[in-house]
Chain A
Amino acid sequence: MERIHQGRTVDRGRPTRRGVLRTGGLLLGALSAPALLSACGTNAAADGAGNVLRVSQPGDPKTLDPQKQGDMVSMNVLINMFDTLTTRGRDNQLHPRLALSWKATDARTWRFTLRPGVTFHNGEACDARAVAFSIERLLDPATKSPIVELRYVKGVRVVDRLTVDVHTTVHDPILPAKLSLFGGVILPPRHLSEAGDAAFAEHPVGTGPFTFVSWRRDHELRMRAYADHWNGRPSVDGLVFSPAPNASSSLAALQSGGVDLVAGLTPDAAEQLDGYSGVTLDGYTGIRTSYLSLNTLERGPLQDRRVRQALNHAIDVPLLIKAVLGGKATETPALVPRGAFGFDPTVKPFTRSLETARTLLAEAGHPHGFSTALTASNVDSNVAEALSGLLARVGVRARVNLLDPGTYATRLTSDNRGALGPIYLAASTVWTMDGQSIVQSNVRSDRRQSRWHSKEADRLIDIEELSESPTKRKQAFSDLQRLMRQEAPFVFLYQLDNIFARNDRPRWTPGSAGVLAMESAEVSC
């Protein structure tokens, strides 16, 4: 009932666009009103209150076992039912969650002190044993976990009831950050051993702010506020997640009052929603960072540093952001996004001068440009075509080669570093908020996607990856970004905003990673 009331209020406030059609549709509206009323009535009854937040995102969770998924869409749902050891605050700093404090006791050990008095939704205590159990389950090959963040973890030792030591094979400076999402979810050991994996995945039990109610795959997942949560009961009584695979259906759901908040919108999808009354678009600086990878290992123009610099000058990123992404992105000067550890604001982006680009190309022996290919996943087709157009202005004729996302992913991770051609468009979500996330598989010469060999870069990455001192790491990141800015093994592009469309009900602010943790959300009825 609350929902109907709300929907009608918004309706009245809306200027009468398509007035004719609306009048014509009054009869139809009246005819279907009873069905609609009963639909909302039952929904409200099932929740026990009208204080429910309905969120839609592009997909549905793959599974409700948090250790058997590795994608953000699943995590966005699960993070509301499970807690992690650490968490990333709105200030981009790492904050305590199930762990109250942590420190490196030696180069290969992180010690975590746990929050006392935390219980799972079934009453089971969340203690050091649960933490050890969770990490060991994640590492066990039998779990078939696609989560890779704990790759350096060798084992876990329970020190006392509220203390655990995590042992690693190398020094892992960002381990606490890795435990803020996928790697850090804590599961109930007793319940899992009694109920088994299959039952657990059907009815997950965590320590999180919401408890599981029901899930109808590809339709909706319902949760209820957990009154005994250690951080207090959430403000909303219930949470409903539903998938909306395309932007037009999420827009329709939002406008017809089916959902309150739409997440995971791409900039061009957001453009479609812009300007409708009753729909507000919120954009927050995000950390999904895009770049072009240039193959400097194969013979060709890209081996010449001047050519690579020319490409960086030719691609006018601010123009691209304005024209193609509706302004919903921020330029990144040298791969590491702002907000992440290691970002150096003193490294300036290229000047975006066609003149400079042409001069550099001429100096490198390509006064009339050259022909090449630009590969991208077809979800990024707009951006890829725009990039090709920008390159054409300086005579670089880049044929756009679009692949379906699956083929693209296969080639990206294949042993053949040239599988995606001389230039490909890629993006990485730096959710650990540490520069290492984006650098790790792209730069050091022995890494899978590295297409640039530099002894100096390798040395800086070793410092950045293995030092215990944050100051040394920060310095290494700064030096590395200056070097990359100079050598230009990539065309540095932008970090995408997290875009949300909502109606007038919800009040909620996401963090940089854009994770849909709804603990702090409020709705007005």
Chain B
Amino acid sequence: MSALTLDKPPTPADTASRHRDTARLLRTVLRRLGTALFVLLCTATVSFFLVRLSGDPVKILLPPDATAHQESVLRASLGLDRPLFTQYLDYLWGLPRLDLGDSLVYGQPVSEILADRLPATIELAAAALAVTLVIAIPAGIFAAMRRGRRSDHTVMTGVLLGQSTPPFWVGILLILVFAVWLQALPASGYGTFANLVLPAVTLAVYSVAVVARLLRSSLIDVLSSDHIRSSRAKGFGPLKVVLRHGLRNASLPVVTVIGLEVGNLLGGAILTERVFSWPGVGQLTVEAISNRDFPLVQATVLFFAATFVVVNLLVDLSYSFLDPRVRTSR
């Protein structure tokens, strides 16, 4: 929008309108931030009370033949004997200071444990995102260009199959083929590139489907518009038309959905990490739940909620930057 106003010196009306725009944008940002914080507070509250409904961690920490006295000693030393509401207030009070409490099972601060696992999960999500882009973008373009033909149907059927297969099943299948039969890749473990391949592909399968399908339909939309027809009339080859004119116009919804997929990839890692013994946050969550490790469960739930909230926030805001219609409609 500023590019339009650069041609001639700005009039006072233009400046005022720009100020109004900035103020409106700021308000939007603040409102969005407020909503995000509210969502996180709700998540924290719900997870706090839900995990406490799930059972008593002391019963799991101690062997079944522990005496009632031993249980009460351990419960007191973990601070679980205090009134529920006191525990809740304590928890809320710690949140702004990023003090998420100590893990009941591991005995060390939850934030440390989480920070320890985070790199593995981010690495996996990033690799999955890379796989998604490398496969989904060519597949979407290919299918859009061959719309209605058999090759389009083949690609889209494959993609749909990927979208409707649960990730853990894909993972087990890949392990069976590549680790057990072909012995080409390790079935589990962490640390090398070879370890990363199978889990990243597993995690990417769903995202590939989402992105490829959206790109295809978005491209088909754009390709039927007037300016494409005219550039075709100029004699450009079909691939050049798509890459130069179609892709740019079709990219906005696709970029949005890719942003949302980042959240999905981080959150969706739970099952995939489980299948591949990947030492990330997802694996940690499963362990924490089965151990009734309250502070750790709360922290991981909050972490996943926060990634979604932040990604949504960024996507929303980028909308109002990229597409003026979104801004003015408020």
Does residue B179 face the partner (Cβ distance < 8 Å to A)? yes
Bound form: Cα–Cα A146–B62 in Å? 5
User: Closest chain A residue to B192 by CB distance?
Assistant: A39
Distance from B70 Cβ to chain A, minimum over Cβ atoms (Å): 6
Choose from B68, B117, B189 the contact partner of A258 (Cβ within 8 Å). B189
Taking CB atoms and an 8 Å cut-off, the chain A residues in 290-346 that contact chain B are: none
User: Closest chain A residue to B197 by CB distance?
Assistant: A32
Query: Is B60 within 8 A of A142, CB to CB?
Result: no
Bound form: Cα–Cα A257–B185 in Å? 10
Bound form: Cα–Cα A22–B290 in Å? 39
Does residue A234 face the partner (Cβ distance < 8 Å to B)? no
Chain A 229-249, CB-CB to B under 8 Å as 1, else 0, gives 000000000000011111011
Given A29-B182, A32-B185, A63-B106 in contact, is the A70-B54 Cβ separation under 8 Å? no
| Chain B residues near A257 (CB-CB < 8 A) | 183
User: Closest chain B residue to A11 by CB distance?
Assistant: B183
Does residue B73 face the partner (Cβ distance < 8 Å to A)? yes
The stretch from A388-396, A409-417, A492-500, A506-514 touching chain B is A409-417
Chain B 188-202, CB-CB to A under 8 Å as 1, else 0, gives 111111110100000
Chain B 264-294, CB-CB to A under 8 Å as 1, else 0, gives 0000000000111101000110110011100
Does residue B177 face the partner (Cβ distance < 8 Å to A)? yes
Count of CB-CB pairs between chains A and B under 8 Å: 174
Bound form: Cα–Cα A187–B272 in Å? 38
Chain A 18-50, CB-CB to B under 8 Å as 1, else 0, gives 100110010011011001101100100000000
| Chain B residues near A68 (CB-CB < 8 A) | 107
Query: Is B186 within 8 A of A258, CB to CB?
Result: yes
Does residue B61 face the partner (Cβ distance < 8 Å to A)? yes
Query: Is A36 within 8 A of B186, CB to CB?
Result: yes
Query: Is A244 within 8 A of B277, CB to CB?
Result: yes
Distance from A435 Cβ to chain B, minimum over Cβ atoms (Å): 14
Taking CB atoms and an 8 Å cut-off, the chain A residues in 43-95 that contact chain B are: 59-60, 62-63, 65, 68, 70
Does residue B137 face the partner (Cβ distance < 8 Å to A)? no
Query: Is A144 within 8 A of B67, CB to CB?
Result: no
Choose from B71, B176, B186 the contact partner of A39 (Cβ within 8 Å). B186
Query: Is B105 within 8 A of A62, CB to CB?
Result: yes
Bound form: Cα–Cα A448–B277 in Å? 37
Given A32-B194, A217-B279 in contact, is the A63-B107 Cβ separation under 8 Å? yes
| Chain B residues near A407 (CB-CB < 8 A) | 54-55
Does residue A141 face the partner (Cβ distance < 8 Å to B)? yes
Choose from A7, A198, A441 the contact partner of B65 (Cβ within 8 Å). A441
| Chain B residues near A60 (CB-CB < 8 A) | 287
Bound form: Cα–Cα A319–B39 in Å? 56
Bound form: Cα–Cα A407–B286 in Å? 16
| Chain A residues near B176 (CB-CB < 8 A) | 252
Query: Is A148 within 8 A of B62, CB to CB?
Result: yes
Query: Is A219 within 8 A of B277, CB to CB?
Result: yes
Does residue A469 face the partner (Cβ distance < 8 Å to B)? no
| Chain A residues near B186 (CB-CB < 8 A) | 36, 39, 253, 256, 258
Query: Is A252 within 8 A of B184, CB to CB?
Result: no
Distance from B274 Cβ to chain A, minimum over Cβ atoms (Å): 6
Bound form: Cα–Cα A311–B182 in Å? 50
Distance from A47 Cβ to chain B, minimum over Cβ atoms (Å): 14
Query: Is B187 within 8 A of A148, CB to CB?
Result: no
Bound form: Cα–Cα A258–B189 in Å? 8
Query: Is A249 within 8 A of B193, CB to CB?
Result: no
Given A248-B175, A253-B188 in contact, is the A21-B277 Cβ separation under 8 Å? no
Distance from B280 Cβ to chain A, minimum over Cβ atoms (Å): 8
Chain A 360-373, CB-CB to B under 8 Å as 1, else 0, gives 00000000000000
Does residue B172 face the partner (Cβ distance < 8 Å to A)? yes
| Chain B residues near A142 (CB-CB < 8 A) | 77
Query: Is A242 within 8 A of B277, CB to CB?
Result: yes
Distance from B8 Cβ to chain A, minimum over Cβ atoms (Å): 59
Bound form: Cα–Cα A243–B59 in Å? 23
Query: Is A219 within 8 A of B175, CB to CB?
Result: no
Does residue A218 face the partner (Cβ distance < 8 Å to B)? yes
Name, among B74, B189, B290, the residue most crowded by chain A CB atoms within 10 Å (CB to CB): B189
Bound form: Cα–Cα A158–B55 in Å? 42
| Chain B residues near A15 (CB-CB < 8 A) | none
Does residue B154 face the partner (Cβ distance < 8 Å to A)? no
Query: Is A25 within 8 A of B182, CB to CB?
Result: yes
Query: Is B192 within 8 A of A35, CB to CB?
Result: yes
Chain A 485-524, CB-CB to B under 8 Å as 1, else 0, gives 0000000000000000000000000000000000000000
Bound form: Cα–Cα A137–B70 in Å? 15
Bound form: Cα–Cα A64–B71 in Å? 22
Taking CB atoms and an 8 Å cut-off, the chain B residues in 43-59 that contact chain A are: 54-56, 59
Given A406-B54, A449-B64 in contact, is the A252-B180 Cβ separation under 8 Å? yes
Query: Is B107 within 8 A of A65, CB to CB?
Result: yes
| Chain B residues near A151 (CB-CB < 8 A) | 67, 70
| Chain B residues near A29 (CB-CB < 8 A) | 182-184
Query: Is A218 within 8 A of B279, CB to CB?
Result: yes
Query: Is A255 within 8 A of B180, CB to CB?
Result: yes
Bound form: Cα–Cα A35–B197 in Å? 11
User: Closest chain B residue to A62 by CB distance?
Assistant: B105
| Chain B residues near A198 (CB-CB < 8 A) | 108
Choose from A22, A244, A448 the contact partner of B182 (Cβ within 8 Å). A22
Does residue B178 face the partner (Cβ distance < 8 Å to A)? yes
Query: Is B188 within 8 A of A249, CB to CB?
Result: yes
Does residue A216 face the partner (Cβ distance < 8 Å to B)? yes
User: Closest chain B residue to A38 by CB distance?
Assistant: B192
Query: Is B189 within 8 A of A216, CB to CB?
Result: no
User: Closest chain A residue to B74 by CB distance?
Assistant: A144
Does residue B123 face the partner (Cβ distance < 8 Å to A)? no
Choose from A217, A255, A405, A441 the contact partner of B290 (Cβ within 8 Å). A405
| Chain A residues near B185 (CB-CB < 8 A) | 32, 36, 256
Does residue B14 face the partner (Cβ distance < 8 Å to A)? no
Distance from A160 Cβ to chain B, minimum over Cβ atoms (Å): 32
Given A141-B73, A146-B62 in contact, is the A256-B187 Cβ separation under 8 Å? yes
Bound form: Cα–Cα A336–B178 in Å? 46
Does residue A467 face the partner (Cβ distance < 8 Å to B)? no
Name, among A18, A22, A217, A437, the residue most crowded by chain B CB atoms within 10 Å (CB to CB): A217
User: Closest chain B residue to A142 by CB distance?
Assistant: B77
| Chain B residues near A475 (CB-CB < 8 A) | none
Query: Is B105 within 8 A of A219, CB to CB?
Result: no
Chain B interfacial positions (CB closer than 8 Å to A): 54-56, 59-68, 70-71, 73-74, 76-78, 105-108, 113, 116-117, 172, 175-195, 197, 274-277, 279, 283-284, 286-287, 290-292
A32-B184, A413-B66, A440-B65 known; 6 other A-B pairs, CB under 8 Å? A35-B193, A144-B107, A218-B277, A256-B183, A409-B60, A441-B64
The 10 listed contacts between A and B (C-beta, < 8 Å) are A25-B184, A35-B194, A198-B108, A216-B191, A248-B172, A249-B277, A258-B189, A406-B55, A412-B64, A441-B64
* 5 pairs of A and B residues whose beta carbons are closest in the complex: A252-B187, A25-B182, A218-B279, A441-B65, A219-B279
